[in-house]
Structure 1
Amino acid sequence: MAALYRSRHRWKRINWSHVLTRNFTGNYDYDTVVIGGGSGGLACSKEAAQLGQKVAVLDHVEPSLRGTKWGLGGTCVNVGCIPKKLMHQAALLGTAVKDAKKYGWQLPGPISHDWLTMAEAVQNHVRSLNWGHRVQLQDKKVKYLNMRGSVADEHTVKALSKTGKTMTLTAKNIVIATGGRPKIPTDIPGAMEHGITSDDIFWLKESPGKTLVVGASYVALECAGFLTGIGLDTTVMVRSIALRGFDQQIAGLVTDYMESYGTKFAFRCVPKRVDKLPSGALKVTWSDALTGQEHNDTYDTMLWAVGRAPETKALGLDNLGVQLNKETGKIIVGVDESTSVPNIYALGDISQGRPELTPTAVKSGKLLARRLAGHSKELMNYDNVPTTVFTPLEYGCVGLSEEEAEVRHGRDNIEVYHAFYKPLEFTVAERDASQCYIKVICQRDGDQKILGLHFTGPNAGEVTQGFSMGLQCGATYSHLLGTVGIHPTCAEEITKINITKRSGLDATVTGC
């Protein structure tokens, strides 16, 4: 559509559709350019587009050291939550098959697991999610560029394709959501040459066989758990403590259960070198911190799970003065996800002090998009974010650990209610339930506001999710006791919890 307008006594022809676009985006190509196509970046870009903004997303996956690569969707979809939970489910089914005999199922012959069948099914599902994300971006008119992005200034992004093609995009706002990648030690001979990470384990074409998992993070324990569950000889090497940052009493229960489940643990041990033998096996040498002695053993696979590093090095942030945490390399952000440079924002795992969790990245991304579009001023609430560790005995939690509660409020100012319980489904199967445990941490005075809730047992994520809303609403111990449980469930035991640690009484649940 064209029209005429008068300026300084001259008549000129103008394309009004072009003017409307320029007025909306200002002097920039886009309102928002997002660098990173993971959970947070995709959520932010799609929300912004739905609010009428012109948006582009840049996503590029650098292959792992083993050459593993994947499609759109980030860590969670490709090498995290989704394949992890599916392989965890494979392990749970193995346990269920064993339990089935006690429930009367007649199973002919011994059972075994086929890695390739599981891996292909999981990988096909992941690929369907990759495709789905691309379709969603297209439907919402978000420009998707399979290119590596770097920031030239507060309004300019440089894009580089794998073929060397370059492109410049300008935007009113730039959002960085590039997440992180697993670390591999550089000071251990053979570590990088012969080890794999969580970037690789889910895309292996054949069984990893006898596996050494180095690390004690939730990633390490989850991987070790499902590998044990599908019948593989698995050892976890722990330098100091397991599940750092989580409640340590619960962490002990989780590892105790895993040991009884068949996972081996080498506590207070540090790998020294990794050598590949002519047979193809890996000879791993490590030292025992308690005795100072060296030991070695052979494994088919060595999986490093010693933490993650933020993907900030290739973004060009140093030249712009974007403030980073010197120890972690993560971007320092404000309560509104803003960085130290105007018009540049960061969200998700790359941000300092934020939970490395998909749901927080998704929600914060959506809220950021709404604020940038001028539709809201709501900030992300990072308090009482629930999470679950999908180990063989699942661990769900929300709020403070007992250690954190003591630091913040003082030991004498908190009350810890706890219970050991036995899931009904464990009874006929004659499974050990000695690590099935509930802990509810409350303020000791007043209404006894709940500060933290911890649960180990079947379906821990499903149990914890509902109670987390209660904590967001300021739930108290009285509210908990006033809640009617669903019988017979594991979750109902939380509503009946009444023994305090302070009392010293036996916390084992008996009967209804």
Structure 2
Amino acid sequence: MESHQKGELLPLINKQNHNYDYDLVVIGGGSGGLAASKLAADLGAKVAVCDFVQPTPKGTTWGLGGTCVNVGCIPKKLMHQAAILGHSLKDSRDFGWTTPDGVTHDWSKMVEGIQSHIGSLNWGYRVALRNKKVDYVNAYATFVDAHTLHTVDRRGKEKAITADKFLIATGGRPRYPDIPGAKEYCITSDDIFSLPHSPGKTLLVGASYIALECAGFLAGLGYDTTVMVRSILLRGFDQGIAERIGTYMEQNGVKFIRGAVPTSIEQIEEGSPGKYRVKSTTNEGEEIEEEYNTVVLAIGRDPCTSSLGLEKINVELAKSGKVIVDKGERTSVPHVYAIGDVIEGGLELTPVAIQAGKLLAKRLYGNGTLLTDYVNVPTTVFTPLEYGCCGLSEEEAIAKYGEDDIEVYHGNFIPLEYTVPHRPENDCYAKLICVSSENEKVVGFHVLSPNAGEITQGFSIGLKLGATKADFDNLIGIHPTVAEVFTTLNVTKKSGGDVSAQGC
């Protein structure tokens, strides 16, 4: 008991009988890797984290913390907020505020503030590792053999590190198309959040959530913004909602080029920003040519596995390049594990990687048994009108249960805040997907509205606990809120009833 109170018991229990440098080496200093390393150290393991950011073709690099902190969730949400504030300024006049019409936005000022915040997070992660007695190795690691890594830092200094177990948490990086000028002249989400100058007229190539989120905040900040879409919007998400998002964005200034892909990018003028000629071809063979100041590629992400030396230790990879793991995140090599964006069949979401990292550390060093639940994971797409969802899309529900066994309750609504500035009444939308034969168990939750992430986070526990439509009906709403719409949905898709927004 005395050893336990002093924090000495678990280290004694977990003391490994090996001659390696570490009990666990984590490759990747992103959200998942950091979560696993810190908890493993708390549980008595001797841990190191190897993290090294390969610069983008434009030379952009960043500090400890991975994609989410540096070039993902954090700066994305802050730029999304900047755009929301611009819209709120317009609305404020209808609420009695006297604000000038000629309000302008300073891109460089915004980037400076965001990068300052990210810098403080980078430092905080380094301090946290030090406090947990986790060794931070700022070097690129590759496998030499089953228990040895070769590391090279930015100065070229080499070192060998050995460990009893390894965790691959290297995440992914944006994909570049194989066309002239792509790497020379285009940027990706790895570059845009630290871009030192305003982007000007911008083309975003892709229809992923990254493309639409970036297009949303750029248009919201006043930039001429176009999205080039090869096929459908938001593949993998509910397509009814995806098309609503596209319509909303078009109505709010984002232009779309549908059914087209770029074939070349050439520089016309240098500058900050410069000017580029983009040639593209439609599915019908029509050629399009247009000039832009900035071209952002968002056509997908590839896992960072190709240069880790995984082939030397026979870690099995999928065709996608992602690591194949079992339910306990163990690879084909028993002492090597993988979590986060790098695993095949997983979810590319930061909180999922964090949860997987923590639970894995508990299983390895804390007698834990709980596995990561990859079902009913809430998520949000931060488009101008946010999209929150949990569970199955309508397409997935029909494929799993059959169309006859699915009942969809849905409806448009208008937030009270939209009424005074006279925003459109039917932009916002709510949908519950239920299985009729299972007492109308809710298997899909979807909301298109302001603050959709906050709404989805709370309701998702209902899906996780098996809530039915009756449970939603019996829940008393908070009035006047957006979320209360889910306590009053009564029109089904099959009925064909009117789903137009109703008054309070």
TM-score by length of 1: 0.94
1:310 aligns with 2:303: yes
User: Matches of residues 61-72 of structure 1 in structure 2 within 5 Å?
Assistant: 61-72=53-64
**Counterpart in 2 of 1:185?**
177
Contact 2:15 2:45 in 1 (8 A): no
Deviation, structure 1 residue 262: 0.5
RMSD: 1.4
Residues 62-88 of structure 1: per-residue CA shift (max 9 Å, x gap): 000000000000000000000000000
Deviation, structure 1 residue 493: 0.3
**Counterpart in 2 of 1:252?**
243
**Counterpart in 2 of 1:454?**
446
Residues 397-419 of structure 1: per-residue CA shift (max 9 Å, x gap): 00000000000000001100001
**Counterpart in 2 of 1:442?**
434
Residues 319-348 of structure 1: per-residue CA shift (max 9 Å, x gap): 21111011x110011100000011000000
Deviation, structure 1 residue 507: 1.5
Which residue of 317, 320, 327 corresponds with 1:335?
Answer: 327
Which residue of 340, 351, 359 corresponds with 1:359?
Answer: 351
Contact 2:14 2:365 in 1 (8 A): no
**Counterpart in 2 of 1:277?**
268
**Counterpart in 2 of 1:472?**
464
Question: In structure 1, what is the Cα distance between the partners aligned to 2:85 and 2:493?
Answer: 35
Deviation, structure 1 residue 508: 2.0
SS in 1 for 2:437: coil
**Counterpart in 1 of 2:132?**
140
Q: Which amino acid aligns with 1:223?
A: C
Contact 1:154 1:342 in 2 (8 A): no
Contact 1:367 1:380 in 2 (8 A): yes
Question: In structure 2, what is the Cα distance between the partners aligned to 1:23 and 1:275?
Answer: 59
Which residue of 111, 125, 129 corresponds with 2:117?
Answer: 125
Q: Which amino acid aligns with 1:500?
A: T
Question: In structure 1, what is the Cα distance between the partners aligned to 2:252 and 2:282?
Answer: 24
User: Matches of residues 379-398 of structure 1 in structure 2 within 5 Å?
Assistant: 379-398=371-390
SS in 2 for 1:277: strand
**Counterpart in 2 of 1:49?**
41
1:325 aligns with 2:329: no
Question: In structure 1, what is the Cα distance between the partners aligned to 2:448 and 2:362?
Answer: 37
- Shift in alpha-carbon separation, 1:24–1:322, aligned structure 2, 3 A: closer
1:208 aligns with 2:199: yes
Q: Which amino acid aligns with 1:304?
A: L
Deviation, structure 1 residue 511: 2.9
- Shift in alpha-carbon separation, 1:21–1:456, aligned structure 2, 3 A: closer
1:300 aligns with 2:266: no
**Counterpart in 2 of 1:4?**
none
Deviation, structure 1 residue 101: 0.8
* Paired-residue identity, %: 56
SS in 1 for 2:420: helix
Q: Which amino acid aligns with 1:38?
A: G
Q: Which amino acid aligns with 1:395?
A: Y
SS in 1 for 2:53: coil
Contact 1:59 1:147 in 2 (8 A): yes
**Counterpart in 1 of 2:144?**
152
Question: In structure 2, what is the Cα distance between the partners aligned to 1:166 and 1:260?
Answer: 55
User: Matches of residues 362-373 of structure 1 in structure 2 within 5 Å?
Assistant: 362-373=354-365
Deviation, structure 1 residue 495: 1.0
Contact 2:325 2:331 in 1 (8 A): yes
1:412 aligns with 2:375: no
Q: Which amino acid aligns with 1:490?
A: V
Q: Which amino acid aligns with 1:282?
A: Y
Deviation, structure 1 residue 157: 1.9
Stretch moving more, 302-311 or 162-171: 162-171
Question: In structure 2, what is the Cα distance between the partners aligned to 1:500 and 1:472?
Answer: 23
1:481 aligns with 2:478: no
Contact 1:364 1:380 in 2 (8 A): yes
- Shift in alpha-carbon separation, 1:109–1:478, aligned structure 2, 3 A: closer
Question: In structure 2, what is the Cα distance between the partners aligned to 1:25 and 1:141?
Answer: 20
Residues 297-331 of structure 1: per-residue CA shift (max 9 Å, x gap): 110000000000000011101121111011x1100
Deviation, structure 1 residue 492: 0.1
Contact 2:408 2:431 in 1 (8 A): yes
Runs of 4+ in structure 1 off by over 3 angstroms are: 19-25
Question: In structure 1, what is the Cα distance between the partners aligned to 2:220 and 2:340?
Answer: 31
**Counterpart in 2 of 1:39?**
31
Which residue of 389, 395, 399 corresponds with 1:403?
Answer: 395
Deviation, structure 1 residue 24: 3.4
Which residue of 205, 211, 217 corresponds with 1:220?
Answer: 211
Which residue of 273, 283, 286 corresponds with 1:289?
Answer: 283
* Structure (1 or 2) with the larger CA radius of gyration: 1
Residues 210-249 of structure 1: per-residue CA shift (max 9 Å, x gap): 0000000000000000000000000000000000000000
Question: In structure 1, what is the Cα distance between the partners aligned to 2:191 and 2:14?
Answer: 45
Contact 1:177 1:347 in 2 (8 A): yes
Question: In structure 1, what is the Cα distance between the partners aligned to 2:473 and 2:226?
Answer: 42
- Shift in alpha-carbon separation, 1:22–1:297, aligned structure 2, 3 A: closer
User: Matches of residues 108-119 of structure 1 in structure 2 within 5 Å?
Assistant: 108-119=100-111
Which residue of 16, 24, 27 corresponds with 1:24?
Answer: 16
Deviation, structure 1 residue 109: 4.3
Contact 2:429 2:449 in 1 (8 A): yes
1:91 aligns with 2:83: yes
- Shift in alpha-carbon separation, 1:483–1:139, aligned structure 2, 3 A: same
Deviation, structure 1 residue 107: 1.1
TM-score by length of 2: 0.96
Question: In structure 1, what is the Cα distance between the partners aligned to 2:54 and 2:190?
Answer: 11
Question: In structure 2, what is the Cα distance between the partners aligned to 1:48 and 1:358?
Answer: 19
Contact 1:195 1:301 in 2 (8 A): yes
Q: Which amino acid aligns with 2:307?
A: A
Instruction: Report the count of equivalent residues.
Output: 491
SS in 1 for 2:167: strand
Unaligned runs of 5+ in 1: 1-18
Q: Which amino acid aligns with 2:398?
A: E
Question: In structure 2, what is the Cα distance between the partners aligned to 1:424 and 1:233?
Answer: 30
Contact 1:254 1:435 in 2 (8 A): no
Which residue of 316, 335, 340 corresponds with 1:348?
Answer: 340
Contact 1:32 1:174 in 2 (8 A): yes
- Shift in alpha-carbon separation, 1:96–1:344, aligned structure 2, 3 A: same
**Counterpart in 1 of 2:7?**
none
SS in 2 for 1:407: helix
